Structure formats: C-alpha cells, structure tokens
Homo-oligomer: A and B are copies of this chain.
Amino acid sequence: MSKMPNHYDPVEGRAVELDDLPWVPFPEAFSDGGIRWKLLNVAPELGSWAAIFDCPAGSSFASHHHIGPGEYFLTKGRMEVRGGENDGGETVTAPAYGYEPCQAYHGRTFFPVASEFYMTFLGPLNMVDGENGQTLALVTWQAAQAVWEASLEQASTNA
C-alpha cells in the first residue's frame, strides 16, 4: 500500500490513420453477415474504447446491452437501431449521429445496405441471450483489445 498518493502525469495523446490498420473479422459469436472492424483506441482508466465497423448489406450485431453510454457516427449506409423505425426503434441514414444511453438494449442492429460507422463506448457491451437473458460475454475495453490483438496475430500468421 502506498503511504501517500502517487504522482501522476497527464496521459499521452494518440492518433492513427485508418489506412494503416487492417480490417479484421468481428467475432461471429456476436455478429452475422461478415462484419469487420478496426479497434482505434482503449482507455483503461475510464474503461472506454473506440472502433470503426464495416457492415455489409444484410449484416447485423447480436443482442446486447450498452453498459455505459455509446455514441456512433454513421459515415456510410443505413442502420436499424432497436428494431428500426418499423419496430419502435430508429432507422438512420448516413451521415448520422446517435447517442445510446447507459442500459440501452439492442435486440438486433441491422444494416440493410453496405454501411460503416465509428463508435465510442464508455464501458462494455453486455452480449445477452435476449433482453432479460443471461450474459454470454462482456465486451470490456480489455476484451475488445484481446480480440483485436488475436486477430492481428492471426492475420500476420496467415500472411
């Protein structure tokens, strides 16, 4: 145990050009239809992370809760959130912004056309077996980083 508060320095800035990063498959356990992603940053003290997703026409994410707030910027295509506008949710066409609050449940996020979105997550995604179902996986900043790094490793091995 420290006898007194440690000294802390400011955190370093970070920047990355997206073309320097490969697209890798997003885990099929949590998505359908060939979604690929790039992890852009993790912030371990706050538990936030940032990523961009490439979503082919007809692809979707499996059921999840946002444990903390998330903000997306849809750069291309169209996204059906919380069922889409025909089912009580929202359908947005790019360019669009959205704020998904703490506890938001996304039964199925669907992309009717080829789409791309950037998103920041404060806290994990709770992948669940239905709205009141069990936790299948908790995608924390650390789990996201582990999945990303394993994909890079595999991509490098295959090359």
Interface residues of A (CB under 8 A from B): 1-21, 39-47, 50, 52, 67-69, 71, 73, 75, 81-82, 85, 90-93, 95-104, 118, 120, 122-124, 126, 134-135, 138, 140-142, 145, 148-149, 152
Contact = CB atoms under 8 A, between A and B. Distances in A.
Copies in the complex: 4
Given A103-B140, A118-B118, A140-B103, A98 B10 contact: no
A148 B121 CA distance: 25
Contacts of A40: 5, 97
A102 B44 contact: yes
22 contacts: A3-B16, A4-B21, A5-B14, A5-B21, A8-B145, A9-B44, A13-B81, A13-B82, A13-B98, A13-B99, A15-B99, A40-B97, A43-B45, A44-B101, A44-B102, A46-B69, A50-B99, A68-B123, A73-B118, A103-B140, A123-B123, A134-B135
